[in-house]
Amino acid sequence: MKISLRIALTATLLACQFTSTAQEMRTEKNSPVIKEVSLEGDFVVAGGGLAGVCAAVSAARHGADVILIQDRPVLGGNASSEMRMGIVGVLKDQYTEAGLLEEMQLRNFYYNPLQRYTMWDDVIYSTVISEPRIKLLLNTSVEDVIMDGDRIAAVRCWNGNAYTKYTIKGKLFADCTGDGILRLSGARFRRGREFPEEFGETNLHQGGDAKTMGNSILLQLRKTNEEHPFIAPEWAYHFTDADFDYETPKSTIPGVKFNYKRIYNPKDNNFWWIEFGGTLDTIFDAPDIQFELKRIAYGIWEYMKNHPDGRGKGYELDWIGSLPGKRESTRYIGPHILTQNDVLSGGHFEDVVAYGGWTLDDHDPEAFHKKGRISVEYKCPDYFGIPFDCLYSVNVPNLMFAGRDISCTHMGLSATRVMATTALLGQACGTGAAVALEKGVSPAEVRSHYIGQVQEMLEDDDCMLPYRWRKPSALTISAKLPEECEVLRNGIDRGWDGADNGVWLSPGEESVVYCWKKPVTVSGARLIFDSHFKVRSKRMRKLEATTERVRIPGMMAKSYRIEVKLKKGPWTTVYECPLNYTRLNKVSFQSVKADAVRLVITETWGAEKAHVFALDVL
């Protein structure tokens, strides 16, 4: 069922549910001020950033009843309209993250071609509410945890908009808040920087303290033909050239990059360096950090816009964030703590379930108020594996986590905290939770006995795992097909090291045909279309006011059909897709006997041919 149809059905059901009936006027005598609600699910996810969304959707699609709790009015966390941080991850195209993240980004291209942030919020929202097994609670904060021995039995939550208190029971819980509110369970955690010698982390030069990377508030600019001075509030900082008069030497060490405040180029429109809070507590001191960042942000734009050298000419301030984006606060402790050395060695783990590809990007706790470099980046392998053992607690058996709060050191976090990586971690967490619930075991037992199943499920859901390739279905392996189509069953669902790994099909003229010597029973297919992997090509724009539209990659199949035949009989259509805009397609149809199956592309998104990476017959 297409997502739009599922939403329409949901809307119809809600309309019936909310039919009003006459009630007497409410007073203090017959109406409570606070509503008490009890809910129960299989998997309770706290935090609705990309990690939490991917954890919830993945678990729901694999059969779990999920309750997703988000303390904001929108989903997306740092990527939402409230904060507008760029979604980054790997740095080279062939390693681009797929899975649920790519699905949402392609859906955003289809529904939101002008790249408006509030519509991006609703693309994420649509992805969640279209899943019938997910109960979504927005504007709802976890306030307490109810324990049953060493296990979490329930969480208590508060929705200030609806004046509602929730008690939410579950079998498994996941903390995807970044700040780790489910530490109320007594789960072990760390905050701050380790001593360098604890894990032999040579890139960490200071440690044994509670200092972290800071928070950032972003600005968004728009181009303009009018020129007016900018007046900052009286309480803002008012900077002069003297505030930025310091040397900015480049690193002379291979693989090491120094970063400084970028106050000279509005065109770049990337204000990550408006950063503060690393010497404070990024949780308890959040209000003070937010105000200080506002003072800096307004002062920076006043300085840039009004500077006599004209560096702000042609730009106006279009938006300023009110809610800071966090880089670091709390990290849980799992059976494995991911370190700098794990990252640099490539992360070769038996239980690998996700990967990163960002640099070891360590921001100085002094951040903006430091004269000189405010972050140092250390080059990493093109990608590095992250194990399942980083995603569940060592002492609370039914607690999992994904996002910024996974089990890692401060230096490990510097490479894993970016959102494309946390999305993969969320999908891995949700998939692992679904297996745990299906088998009736703990996450630790999933690691011991079922990690292979988790890995195969992730690969089937278009999540590439390092140092291995997906196994095609048995029917796909047993089929006979033309030599030029053999790549469709090599398990490599993307271009790799210069190899194309796909076939190009002209709409209505060329097809892929699988044959068997004897009739087989087929009931579905798995397809991967080329969605044009190019790092950051699908991230939201920094200049939102533009009227240039983005487009679905031209080589994607816009429509297609699957046909079968038996012996020398005619081709019969068993599945037809009139509109496709996603990379991964899993389709099912009524079981049928056939000795041949073929894929026919009927239209692309503009290219002469469609590019197909995989066709698995099920």
Maximum CA extent, the chain: 84
> pLDDT tens-digit profile of 493-517?
999 999 999 999 999 889 999 999 9
> Which has more pLDDT, 148 or 567?
148
**% of the chain beyond a pLDDT of 70:** 96
Q: Count structural domains, the chain.
A: 3
Residues 543 and 551: their CA atoms lie apart, in Å, by 17
pLDDT at 269: 80
**The pair of three-digit structure tokens given for residue 471, joined into one six-digit string:** 């196994």
One domain, residues 169 and 57: yes
Q: What domain range includes position 273?
A: 215-326
Under DSSP, the state recorded for 520 is E
**Considering the domain boundaries, does residue 468 fall inside one?**
no
pLDDT at 57: 98
Helices 99-111 and 419-439 sit at what angle, rounded to 10 degrees? 120
In this model, does residue 478 exceed pLDDT 90? yes
* CATH for 80: 3.50.50.60
Under DSSP, the state recorded for 206 is S
> pLDDT tens-digit profile of 230-288?
999 999 999 999 999 999 999 999 999 999 998 887 887 889 999 999 999 999 999 99
> pLDDT tens-digit profile of 441-466?
999 999 999 999 999 999 999 999 99
**Considering the domain boundaries, does residue 17 fall inside one?**
no
Q: Cβ(111)–Cβ(81) under 8 Å?
A: no
pLDDT at 265: 79
In this model, does residue 2 exceed pLDDT 50? no
**Considering the domain boundaries, does residue 4 fall inside one?**
no
pLDDT at 268: 75
**Considering the domain boundaries, does residue 375 fall inside one?**
no
One domain, residues 450 and 346: yes
**The pair of three-digit structure tokens given for residue 105, joined into one six-digit string:** 């980004």
Residues 327 and 214: their CA atoms lie apart, in Å, by 6
Q: Cβ(529)–Cβ(557) under 8 Å?
A: yes
Task: Work out the pLDDT band at 5, boundaries 50, 70, 90.
Answer: very low
> pLDDT tens-digit profile of 50-79?
999 999 999 999 999 999 999 999 999 999
Distances (CA, A) of 387 to 82, 285, 616: 31, 32, 27
The model's pTM: 0.95
In this model, does residue 13 exceed pLDDT 90? no
> pLDDT tens-digit profile of 83-120?
999 999 999 999 999 999 999 999 999 999 999 999 99
**Considering the domain boundaries, does residue 14 fall inside one?**
no
- Averaged pLDDT, 402-431: 98
Q: Cβ(90)–Cβ(420) under 8 Å?
A: yes
**Considering the domain boundaries, does residue 115 fall inside one?**
yes
One domain, residues 357 and 444: yes
* Angle of CA points 349, 176, 84, to nearest 5°: 105
> pLDDT tens-digit profile of 296-319?
999 999 999 999 999 999 999 999
In this model, does residue 7 exceed pLDDT 50? no
**Considering the domain boundaries, does residue 3 fall inside one?**
no
Residues 58 and 42: their CA atoms lie apart, in Å, by 13
pLDDT at 568: 84
One domain, residues 261 and 150: no
Residues 326 and 334: their CA atoms lie apart, in Å, by 22
One domain, residues 413 and 505: no
In this model, does residue 16 exceed pLDDT 90? no
Residues 282 and 213: their CA atoms lie apart, in Å, by 9
In this model, does residue 546 exceed pLDDT 80? no
Q: What is the mean pLDDT of the chain?
A: 94
**Contacting residues for 514 by C-beta, under 8 A, at least 6 apart:** 475, 476, 479, 480, 481, 596, 597, 598, 615, 617
One domain, residues 53 and 113: yes
**Considering the domain boundaries, does residue 196 fall inside one?**
no
In this model, does residue 25 exceed pLDDT 70? yes
pLDDT at 543: 73
